[in-house]
Structure 1
Amino acid sequence: MPVSQRQLGLRLQRLRQRHGLTQAELARRLGLSPSYLNQIERNQRPLTLAVQQRLKDTLGEIGGLLDRDDPAALVDPLEDTLRALGHTAVSPTELRALAGNLPQVANALLDLHREHRHLQERAAALELQLGGSHGATPLLSPGDHVRDHFNRERNYIPELDERAEALYAEHGLTPDTLAPRLRQLLADRHGLRVRVDGQAGDKRMYDAATRTLWLPAWLQPGQQAFQMAAQLALLEHGTLIDLLIARAGFDDAERIALARIGFSNYYAGALVMPYGEFLRSAEDSRYDIEWLAQRFAVGFEAVCHRLSTLQRRNAPGLPVFFMRVDRAGNVSKRHSSTDFHFSQVGGTCPLWIVYEAFNQPGRILTQVARMPDGRQHFWLARQVSSGPPGFGQPRKTFALALGCDLRHAGRWVYSRGLDLQGGSAVPIGPGCLTCERMDCLQRAFPPLRRLGPG
């Protein structure tokens, strides 16, 4: 497939330079004016078929100038790399231009990222061998730094939790009345209008100029309440959130922005599922997630996330850890109210029940598992999807895993009928790169510490 005209300029320039020709000399050989060739190299003039034929007659082999197979193959890896590094503002057009015009630079970026990932993996393997987290590392992404801060707090932020619960009680809120009452509260206190729009994007958009909060029409009432509560947190508790961010030690723009989202979402979850009422309901139902989702008019994932925050000093809930993964093994959420350690490159063991959830959508799967250090856990997993309904509409699909130490498993409704003595526990690990189980039939490659340097 021929490369687009907009990608040819720098390629032609490199081809000319490889032949040791000046712009004026090549223009003379092609029978063009130097200014015309200059415009071609600057993508201001098309490289016509007639000029392409003259190039072949003058230079002979011009392979690579018109072939886009290799450069096109760089676009998706470049997009994945930049996204992983937190750079999402680069457009597909810019990526295609980089891959087409500067393939060597594009490959250098990919090589650097592969080396970056390799260093991350080796650091995680060493961290696991040393027995846990030993402080923040510069290899972590901004998102991982923010998540690690929440985990160091046992995923419980009392200042936000208590304020959310107090507001819920003050206004006599219930799951049925929460969305309309929050809409009215935002209008009365802040002059903010809430508009539901079928064309709105993902989750919410706030227009400060018109004081309008736009919500997509496909959100359920409980999800709308969550988004309104998150906006309320930013409006009414911005000073507190800034204080929490400063206390966490975040001082760069990206981490501050991610932390602000994390704290406002925490407040929203605490308002939609107020601590005392939610904990009582969880205990009464033996932590039945689907029942709790129905009770508080929220989604399965929201309940899992809230369960991982129930660590109030005088009224703790079941100590759980919560993870969200995609089919490729990327861990996009990791929260723990316990001392469970999440390896930064963990979560890719093919024996872990969370990956089977993709094959059985809608079902809650359970597993008793044993880690290489001998600790045994109870896990449940389920696939979830979100996004606008309708045929052909793009949707996000993940698998959620919620677990606890095996000694607490009897408190789960899902543990009924399982062997909780650990005799039939499935041996799993944090992923082949950091797992020491050499007798595993699913092992894809040896652990990093056995690979040697480099």
Structure 2
Amino acid sequence: MTRKLLMGPALRRLREKNHLSQSAFAERLGLSFSYICQLENNQRPVTASVLLKLTQVFQVDLSDFSEDRNRRLLGELDAIFRDQGLVGDASVSPADIDRMVHTVPALAETLVALYQKQLHLQEELQQLVDRFYGDSQQAAQAPFPHEAARDFFNRHDNYFDALDRQAEQLAQDWALQPGRRAAALREQLQQAHGIEVVAGEANTLELRQYDARRRRLVLKPQLGDAQQAFQMATQLCFLAHGDLLDQACADETALADAQTRTLARQGLAHYFAGALLLPYGEFLQAARSMRYDVEQLQRRFQVSFESVCHRLSTLQRSGARGVPMYLIRVDQAGNVSKRQSANSLHFARHGGTCPLWHVFEAFAQPGQILTQVAEMPDGTRYFGIARSVQRGGGSFHAPRKRFAFGIGCELAQARELVYADGWDLQQPRAITPIGPGCRVCPRTDCVQRAFPPAGKPLHNDDFSESLVSYRLEG
């Protein structure tokens, strides 16, 4: 059924803009006074003939009365009232939002504009804090749950000793072997917890679904041995080692929010699963002997490129540390979905990351490992590798996830990585100047800059132009 077009407030704004009374407005349109009153009070819908008269008499744009505009407003207001960081637990129903859009659209537009201004100011403030204090200082705004959970892992250098040691001990007790882990974990879940592991539907996005009532764990059938083992280990952590998850989260006031705590617990369970598949001592020994060759480690442990990169970024056990590495995962749009650093590399929390980083070039050379020596504005140099990866697929219509991963270390430790062979690390043949992100980067001569730095006045000049998009005063 077609929705009736009610546009009383828009008609009232048009009449007042032209300084007309209701009777004069009705006369100009050739309509009765009572009909105009009913239209302005949303008691009658606007017909096509009335819209035609409006365009002929007042030369208005019909898009001003479009339902698409109302739908956009409805969507934007719905997002605003879902933002608990801004409005708390305010209970605003969809019906309330609908009435606001159709009754006082000017107020709805103003509210959306104010919300966008608020987000902009929050970002500007955090960028200034990042610029002057680094990522150890937070602006006085509540972060989003995923940001708070990510900060939680960074504060712990992406290493959780109790979980890691428990996983390592279980891997030894159960004699888990690459290529045969899934069968062993399936047996453990059945014998120790009475949980049956079964294959689910092929055409589903669900990787794992646990039915507590039926004691049944359903896995996506296309998963390989390591992927099945990872999902079973994740569920096992929730079922058998919830105390370790609670212990890891116990003293974290930043995890008081339920959503943030849920994300942190999920990340910790994934950490446990990765540690079970790649036991710390065995993996560290192999990484050192293979000089951190990711592809060799893939074959040795029969896991994905992504899994090896994750594990290399966690080798921070006291007395048995690996090379401290950063880890970053980006998509083709430049969104950073994972970032951890066990060394001094600073990631900006806002405004994206540096486009000169080779992790973005990896999409143009799928499957190839790219190397780079990069220098941050403070002069610290890093040696890193990057490669694109793809997950999903299996059929023409199956969805696929594409990411690029980057890992690396400070240049002083690069010789321990096989990828540095052939590089003169004392005088590298090519050094790429990068930054933490355009809005917080102090470099004034970068031709790739997408945004001016926060808090810096721009140079005004009508008589010259430069490859640098934004030139600064002084």
Q: TM-score range by the shorter chain?
A: 0.7 to 0.9
* Match 1:226 to one of 199, 215, 230: 230
What does residue 164 of structure 2 align with? 161
What does residue 354 of structure 1 align with? 359
- Deviations, residues 345-389 of structure 1 (Å, cap 9, x unaligned): 265212110110111111110100110000000011111121232
What does residue 456 of structure 2 align with? 450
User: 8 Å contact 1:128–1:434 — kept in the other structure?
Assistant: yes
- Deviations, residues 201-230 of structure 1 (Å, cap 9, x unaligned): 243222223222222223222111111100
- Deviations, residues 65-92 of structure 1 (Å, cap 9, x unaligned): 66356567779988999999999xxxxx
User: 8 Å contact 2:355–2:448 — kept in the other structure?
Assistant: yes
- Deviations, residues 399-445 of structure 1 (Å, cap 9, x unaligned): 11101100111111111112312543111111221111111222234
What SS is found at the alignment partner of 2:288? helix
| Alpha-carbon distance in 1 for matches of 2:456, 2:39 | 62
What does residue 182 of structure 1 align with? 185
What does residue 53 of structure 1 align with? 49
What does residue 438 of structure 1 align with? 444
User: Which amino acid letter does the alignment assign opposite residue 432 of structure 1?
Assistant: C
| Alpha-carbon distance in 2 for matches of 1:327, 1:86 | 29
User: Which amino acid letter does the alignment assign opposite residue 2 of structure 2?
Assistant: Q
How far does residue 56 in structure 1 lie from its aligned partner after superposition?
A: 4.6
| Alpha-carbon distance in 2 for matches of 1:83, 1:368 | 43
User: 8 Å contact 2:199–2:220 — kept in the other structure?
Assistant: yes
| Alpha-carbon distance in 1 for matches of 2:83, 2:386 | 25
| Alpha-carbon distance in 1 for matches of 2:404, 2:33 | 59
- Please give the TM-score of this superposition, normalised by the length of structure 1: 0.82
How far does residue 258 in structure 1 lie from its aligned partner after superposition?
A: 0.8
User: 8 Å contact 2:315–2:321 — kept in the other structure?
Assistant: yes
Residue 12, structure 1, aligned to residue 7, structure 2: yes
* Match 2:431 to one of 417, 425, 431: 425
User: 8 Å contact 1:12–1:65 — kept in the other structure?
Assistant: no
- Deviations, residues 141-184 of structure 1 (Å, cap 9, x unaligned): 22121211211111110110011011111111111221111112
What does residue 381 of structure 2 align with? 376
After superposition, the Cα gap between the structure-2 partners of 1:342 and 1:445, relative to the gap in structure 1 and judged at 3 Å, is closer
What does residue 64 of structure 1 align with? 63
How far does residue 34 in structure 1 lie from its aligned partner after superposition?
A: 13
How far does residue 188 in structure 1 lie from its aligned partner after superposition?
A: 1.6
Structure 2 gap segments, 5+ residues each: 16-20, 23-30, 87-93, 459-474
What does residue 467 of structure 2 align with? none
Of 343-352 and 221-230, more deviation after overlay is shown by 343-352
User: 8 Å contact 1:380–1:403 — kept in the other structure?
Assistant: yes
User: 8 Å contact 1:361–1:384 — kept in the other structure?
Assistant: yes
After superposition, the Cα gap between the structure-2 partners of 1:166 and 1:353, relative to the gap in structure 1 and judged at 3 Å, is same
| Alpha-carbon distance in 1 for matches of 2:267, 2:406 | 20
User: 8 Å contact 1:435–1:447 — kept in the other structure?
Assistant: yes
Residue 199, structure 1, aligned to residue 194, structure 2: no
Of 75-84 and 63-72, more deviation after overlay is shown by 75-84
* Match 2:252 to one of 248, 254, 260: 248
- Deviations, residues 290-322 of structure 1 (Å, cap 9, x unaligned): 221222222111111111111111211111010
| Alpha-carbon distance in 2 for matches of 1:106, 1:219 | 47
User: Which amino acid letter does the alignment assign opposite residue 169 of structure 1?
Assistant: Q
- Name the larger-Rg structure: 2
| Alpha-carbon distance in 2 for matches of 1:200, 1:361 | 26
- Deviations, residues 308-349 of structure 1 (Å, cap 9, x unaligned): 111111211111010111222221101122343322126521
Residue 211, structure 1, aligned to residue 208, structure 2: no
What SS is found at the alignment partner of 1:174? coil
What does residue 293 of structure 1 align with? 298
User: Which amino acid letter does the alignment assign opposite residue 48 of structure 2?
Assistant: Q
Structure 1 gap segments, 5+ residues each: 42-46, 88-92
What SS is found at the alignment partner of 2:405? strand
User: Which amino acid letter does the alignment assign opposite residue 302 of structure 1?
Assistant: S
* Match 2:240 to one of 236, 241, 246: 236
| Alpha-carbon distance in 2 for matches of 1:31, 1:119 | 44
User: 8 Å contact 1:376–1:422 — kept in the other structure?
Assistant: no
After superposition, the Cα gap between the structure-2 partners of 1:65 and 1:351, relative to the gap in structure 1 and judged at 3 Å, is closer
Of 345-354 and 283-292, more deviation after overlay is shown by 345-354
| Alpha-carbon distance in 2 for matches of 1:108, 1:371 | 40
- Please give the TM-score of this superposition, normalised by the length of structure 2: 0.79
User: 8 Å contact 1:154–1:337 — kept in the other structure?
Assistant: yes
After superposition, the Cα gap between the structure-2 partners of 1:333 and 1:31, relative to the gap in structure 1 and judged at 3 Å, is closer
- The aligned runs of 1:279-358 (5 Å cut-off) are 279-345=284-350, 347-358=352-363
User: 8 Å contact 2:388–2:402 — kept in the other structure?
Assistant: yes
- Deviations, residues 224-244 of structure 1 (Å, cap 9, x unaligned): 111110000000011221222
What does residue 141 of structure 1 align with? 144
What does residue 29 of structure 1 align with? 35
What SS is found at the alignment partner of 2:251? helix
After superposition, the Cα gap between the structure-2 partners of 1:206 and 1:28, relative to the gap in structure 1 and judged at 3 Å, is farther
User: Which amino acid letter does the alignment assign opposite residue 251 of structure 1?
Assistant: A
What SS is found at the alignment partner of 1:447? coil
What does residue 28 of structure 2 align with? none
After superposition, the Cα gap between the structure-2 partners of 1:141 and 1:119, relative to the gap in structure 1 and judged at 3 Å, is same
| Alpha-carbon distance in 2 for matches of 1:417, 1:82 | 56
How far does residue 396 in structure 1 lie from its aligned partner after superposition?
A: 1.5
* Match 2:413 to one of 400, 408, 412: 408
User: 8 Å contact 2:77–2:108 — kept in the other structure?
Assistant: no
Of 116-125 and 326-335, more deviation after overlay is shown by 116-125
What does residue 152 of structure 1 align with? 155
User: Which amino acid letter does the alignment assign opposite residue 9 of structure 2?
Assistant: R
User: 8 Å contact 1:325–1:332 — kept in the other structure?
Assistant: yes
How far does residue 131 in structure 1 lie from its aligned partner after superposition?
A: 4.2
| Alpha-carbon distance in 2 for matches of 1:161, 1:221 | 21
